[in-house]
């Protein structure tokens, strides 16, 4: 049988699938549900220093091949998340806490708090496409990314992953900046900036007008970003963006991803998607004679 285990920094995953930030990640019990369904790791909803209520409704709209969301970083604040993780006690896979901040120091403070409540790693959200003074407003600038990562690494011992935005001319510059700052891995990609208009009223549908597109529509964009980043940095790449089937997961891994995150597909398929992906991946590898996932990471660069 082919081995599905992968390692990213000090994290050992039984398989290369992860719950993506933003979906089912605001409660300890749902994180545990996803872990029990077979995810190799789970990522929380992005947490900041203080509670935020998010944008007004509607916050999500379905489109042809995905979802457009503008939730607006709703979260209870990192201090209130402690209780959630306690209630989820016994999550048997690595828990990655997605965090955001408005300054490099704030990223570091939230990361330190995340470590203290039991995070195995943090994922810096420098890529939310519709947040003011945080998210992509930081993550579209390589200097600001480097500073946020450097400060976080200096202040905490937790592994640091950096989630990148595709809403730039050159994502490779962002990945290199994260690596220079000392990041342990980069996640590519967050949602693609998007908008939906109701033609009856002529008005934007989302409360915030602008949002982020996720789901199958962005999959080829994610594959291109992962392929480019893999050639430019030495740290692992975690793929994210439109994965629905095991074939998608194989494509991301061959492009250069060591692990893959699943978000929007859960809305359509439920948490069973993790078992479907790992079963399919395992059968594919066995059929093709691959012994472990590392043999196919970046395969498309060698063939």
Q: Catalog residues that contact ligand RRO under the rule CB under 6 A.
A: 22, 46, 69-73, 125, 127-129, 190-191, 212
Catalytic residue among 128, 155, 225, 240: 128
Question: 176 and 162 in contact (C-beta within 8 Å)?
Answer: no
Question: 101 and 148 in contact (C-beta within 8 Å)?
Answer: yes
SS3 147: helix
Report in angstroms how near the CB of residue 242 gets to ligand RRO at its nearest: 13
Report in angstroms how near the CB of residue 72 gets to ligand RRO at its nearest: 5
Give phi and psi for 237, each to the nearest 5.
-110, 135
Quote the tokens at residue 225: 């970003």
Report in angstroms how near the CB of residue 190 gets to ligand RRO at its nearest: 5
Taking the least distance from each CB to ligand RRO, the nearer of 15 and 46 is 46
| Alpha carbons 200 and 129: distance in angstroms, whole number | 26
Taking the least distance from each CB to ligand RRO, the nearer of 20 and 108 is 20
Q: Is 128 a catalytic residue?
A: yes
96's enclosing H/E stretch is: strand 95-99
Q: Nearest to residue 13, comparing CAs of 150, 177, 185, 266?
A: 185
Taking the least distance from each CB to ligand RRO, the nearer of 69 and 276 is 69
| Alpha carbons 37 and 263: distance in angstroms, whole number | 14
| Alpha carbons 101 and 241: distance in angstroms, whole number | 23
SS3 154: helix
How far is CA 206 from its chain centroid? Answer: 23
DSSP 237-294: EEEESS--SHHHHHHHHHHTEEEEEE-HHHHHH-TTHHHHHHHHHHHHHHHHT--BGG
Report in angstroms how near the CB of residue 231 gets to ligand RRO at its nearest: 25
Report in angstroms how near the CB of residue 228 gets to ligand RRO at its nearest: 21
Taking the least distance from each CB to ligand RRO, the nearer of 74 and 280 is 74
Taking the least distance from each CB to ligand RRO, the nearer of 181 and 241 is 241
Report in angstroms how near the CB of residue 131 gets to ligand RRO at its nearest: 7
- CA contacts within 13 A on the Cβ side of 113: 21
Taking the least distance from each CB to ligand RRO, the nearer of 72 and 159 is 72
Q: Would you state the torsion angle of the CA atoms of residues 173, 179, 183, 186, taken in this order, to the nearest 10 degrees?
A: 50
Residue nearest to ligand RRO (CB): 212
Residues known to be catalytic: 128
């Amino acid at each position: 049988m082919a081995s599905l285990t992968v390692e990213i920094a000090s994290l050992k995953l039984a398989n290369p699938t992860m719950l993506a930030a933003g979906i089912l990640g605001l409660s300890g019990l749902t994180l545990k549900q996803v872990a029990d369904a077979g995810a190799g790791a789970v990522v929380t909803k992005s947490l900041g220093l203080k509670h935020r209520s998010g944008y007004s409704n509607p916050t999500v709209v379905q489109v042809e091949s995905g979802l457009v969301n503008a939730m607006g970083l709703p979260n209870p604040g990192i201090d209130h998340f402690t209780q959630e993780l306690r209630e989820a006690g016994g999550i048997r896979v690595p828990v990655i806490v997605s965090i955001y901040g408005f300054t490099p120091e704030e990223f570091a403070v939230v990361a330190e708090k995340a470590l203290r409540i039991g995070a195995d790693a943090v994922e810096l959200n420098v890529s939310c496409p519709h947040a003011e003074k945080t998210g992509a407003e930081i993550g579209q600038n390589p200097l600001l990314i480097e500073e946020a990562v450097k400060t976080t690494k200096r202040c905490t011992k937790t592994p640091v992953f950096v989630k990148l935005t595709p809403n730039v001319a050159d994502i490779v510059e962002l990945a290199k900046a994260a690596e220079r700052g000392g990041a342990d891995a980069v996640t590519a990609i967050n949602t693609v900036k998007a908008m939906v208009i109701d033609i009856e009223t002529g008005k934007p549908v989302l409360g915030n007008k602008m949002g982020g597109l996720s789901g199958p529509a962005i999959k080829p964009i994610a594959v291109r970003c992962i392929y480019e980043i893999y050639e430019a940095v030495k740290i692992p790449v975690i793929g994210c963006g439109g994965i629905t089937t095991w074939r998608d997961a194989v494509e991301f891994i061959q492009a250069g991803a060591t692990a893959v995150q699943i978000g929007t597909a859960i809305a359509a398929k439920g948490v069973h998607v993790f078992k479907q992906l790992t079963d399919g991946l395992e059968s594919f590898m066995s059929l093709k004679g691959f012994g472990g996932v590392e043999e196919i990471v970046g395969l498309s660069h060698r063939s």
